[in-house]
Structure 1
Amino acid sequence: MEKAIRQKIFENAKEWVYEAGEKIREHMQRQFQIDTKSNPNDLVTEVDKATEQFFAEKIKNTHPDHKLIGEEGYGDKVENVDGVIWIIDPIDGTMNFVHQKRNFAISIGIYQDGIGEIGLIYNVMEDVLYTALKGEGAYRNQDKLPLLSDNVQIETSIVGMNSILACENKRVNEKKIQQLIKDCRGTRSYGSAALEFAFVAEGIMDCYVTMNLAPWDFAAGYILIEEVGGKTVQATGDPVNLLTNNTIITCNKQIYQDLTNYIEFK
């Protein structure tokens, strides 16, 4: 993607993210409908749906040749990664949104022919916007994020993980995970994959491990991590797939090999 085109798309996306964030904060002052999807803990609200519809309309009106992959059903049927694709989670961390009124984010990853060009993760209640443009670094608001430290070991690492440690009918070896918890400096779980990616990019966590993320959960974060010199792969070591759910390890490269010793499937 040409730099001028990328910048124009980025400016559009940034404007829409701030506008959507303001709408979400306004919605939170009123009662809203809460539904469930795949299970009683898989929540969706009318705010999720309205926010994704807002982005879908903006994208189609401004960039009609672009495609959209979204969580809430306003996207296109995308079968390959050709062209420009917006991958959007309107509210990543819906359970936090419902129960805590914090620790949730708008997540947008924009790809061209499978290459990450633009990433935005907006921590709505903190009013913190993480951004990344391919080859231009990553930012927290106006502050450029440094490259990740080259002096990190498991023993000094903060490890993010969630409670879902199974995928494709396989379970992670719990004893190995328990050993990781013992060996690292500490563990965290924020309930928003987008924010956990952002925190790894910022260097306030050193890795994030999870066994089941959809593309809209990691699309923006993947680009941020690339721009600060980190690594994101499936737990098998294979590249992530933008069109399916994935296991995910995203981390400081310095601990990747050691980290894989703790990820073993039964």
Structure 2
Amino acid sequence: MDRQALHDYTLTIIKEAGERIRKSFFETMYIETKSDANDLVTNIDKETEAFIVKKIHAYDESFRILGEEGMAEEEISSLEGVVWMVDPIDGTMNFVRQRRNFAISIAIYVDGVGQAGYIYDVVADELYFALKGQGAYMNGQRLSPLEALPLNEAIVGINAVWATPNPRVEHEGIIKLIHTLRGTRSLGSATLEIVAVATGRMDAYLSFRLSPWDIAAGIIIAQEVGAVSSTLDLNAVNLLNQDTFIVANPSIHKELVGDYITLK
């Protein structure tokens, strides 16, 4: 597999997909719910994923694809071989309500190892990417390695799900953490929150339930600047099923999980 040729091709795919989404702002949108009233999908999500799937298979029909909307119509039960992970619009609620703060996410894994990750903030026209061992970039400019900081100076991405009757996390530790931090943020798009950690705009992002396509590209990009990813019980990231997730500046990663976050 010619990694540079595939990289160039993927950049073309994601930019074309972004242009299609921008044009969709002037078209009729059809909105459906999935697991609950806050889990939305639009015709644009499906059309964008179908477009990306078609482009990937035009390059090599043997590539397997794990996409949020299932447009590849294949079952992925292992990460053997070349597996693409695609989220056509991460942050669909933002897409529907705000027309911003959403992104396209594409990742390429080979035998379970992340080789390339791409996140495109469509409205801001910011394209983040990383090739394994070659650094991370935003619009061609290399991102700097993360600098260490104490937890009380950190900004952490966390949404309001922690405050619900979540059977997996102890609330007291999260409350203590919030009082310790310099601040918290919630962007409504996991891919953009991971990018915020990779750029140093935030210092960690944690979630109690994410799917592989939410994180697959972001962890490759974040790793190239020194960030650490794991589940909230410090296991390896799960790229086949939903699981807890944290990506953080390495100077605060274990302190965050070990001292404040307790899973039941």
- Counterpart amino acid of residue 160 in structure 1: G
Q: Is the 8 A contact 1:207 1:249 kept in 2?
A: yes
> In the alignment, is the contact (CA less than 8 A) between 1:121 and 1:221 conserved in 2?
yes
Q: Which residue matches 1:98?
A: 96
State the alpha-carbon separation in 2 of the partners of residues 212 and 155 from structure 1: 25
Mapped to 2, the partners of 1:166 and 1:177 lie a distance apart of 9
The answer to whether the 8 A contact 1:166-1:212 is kept is no
Q: Is the 8 A contact 1:131 1:140 kept in 2?
A: yes
CA RMSD of aligned residues (A): 1.5
Give the counterpart letter for 1:78 in structure 2.
I
Size of the aligned set, in residue pairs, is 262
The SS at the match of 1:68 is strand
SS of equivalent residue, structure 1 residue 132: strand
Q: CA deviation at 1:219?
A: 0.3
Match of 1:116 among 114, 121, 125: 114
What residue ranges of structure 2 are gaps of 5+ in the alignment?
none
2-side partners of 1:64 and 1:98: how far apart?
A: 33
Task: Work out whether 1:264 is the aligned partner of 2:257.
Answer: no
Q: Secondary structure at the match of 1:253?
A: coil
Code of the aligned partner of 2:59: T
State the alpha-carbon separation in 2 of the partners of residues 110 and 16 from structure 1.
13
Determine the C-alpha separation between the residues in 2 that align with 1:22 and 1:28. 10
State the 4+ residue runs in structure 1 displaced beyond 2 angstroms: 163-167
State yes or no: 1:140 paired with 2:138: yes
| AA partner of residue 57 (structure 1) | K
Q: Distance in 2 between matches of 1:41 and 1:15?
A: 32
How is 1:35-50 mapped onto 2 (pairs within 5 angstroms)?
Answer: 35-50=32-47
TM-score (norm 1): 0.95
For 1:174 and 1:241, locate their aligned partners in 2 and report how far apart those are by CA, in whole Å. 24
Q: 2: distance between equivalents of 1:217 and 1:163?
A: 18
**Alpha-carbon distance in 2 for matches of 1:163, 1:199:** 18
Contact persistence 1:166–1:172 (CA under 8 A): no
In 2, the alpha carbon distance for the partners of 1:87 and 1:51 equals 14
Alignment equivalent of 1:77, drawn from 53, 72, 75: 75
The structure-2 alpha-carbon separation of the partners of 1:102 and 1:34, relative to structure 1 and needing over 3 Å to count, comes to same
Structure 1 residues 43-58: aligned runs within 5 Å? 43-58=40-55
Q: CA deviation at 1:166?
A: 8.7
Q: What is the Cα deviation at residue 146 of structure 1?
A: 0.8
Paired residue for 1:195, among 192, 199, 220? 192
The match for 1:206 among 184, 188, 203 is 203
Deviation string, structure 1 residues 31-56 (Cα, Å, up to 9, x no partner) = 21000001011000000000000011
Relative to the length of structure 2, the TM-score reads: 0.96
Q: What is the distance in 2 between the residues matched to 1:214 and 1:16?
A: 22
- The aligned counterpart of 2:229 is 232
1:27-38 maps to which residues of 2 (within 5 A)?
Answer: 27-38=24-35
Superposed CA offset, 1:182-223 (max 9, x none):
111000000000000011000110000101000000000010
| Mapped partners of 2:161, 2:127: distance in 1 | 27
Q: Percent identity?
A: 46
Unaligned runs of 5+ in 1: none
Q: Contact 2:163/2:171 (CA < 8 Å) preserved in 1?
A: no
What per-residue deviation string (whole Å, max 9, x for no partner) do you get for residues 143-174 of structure 1? Answer: 10011102x1110001001222399x723111
Q: Contact conserved, 1:232 with 1:250, CA < 8 A, in 2?
A: yes
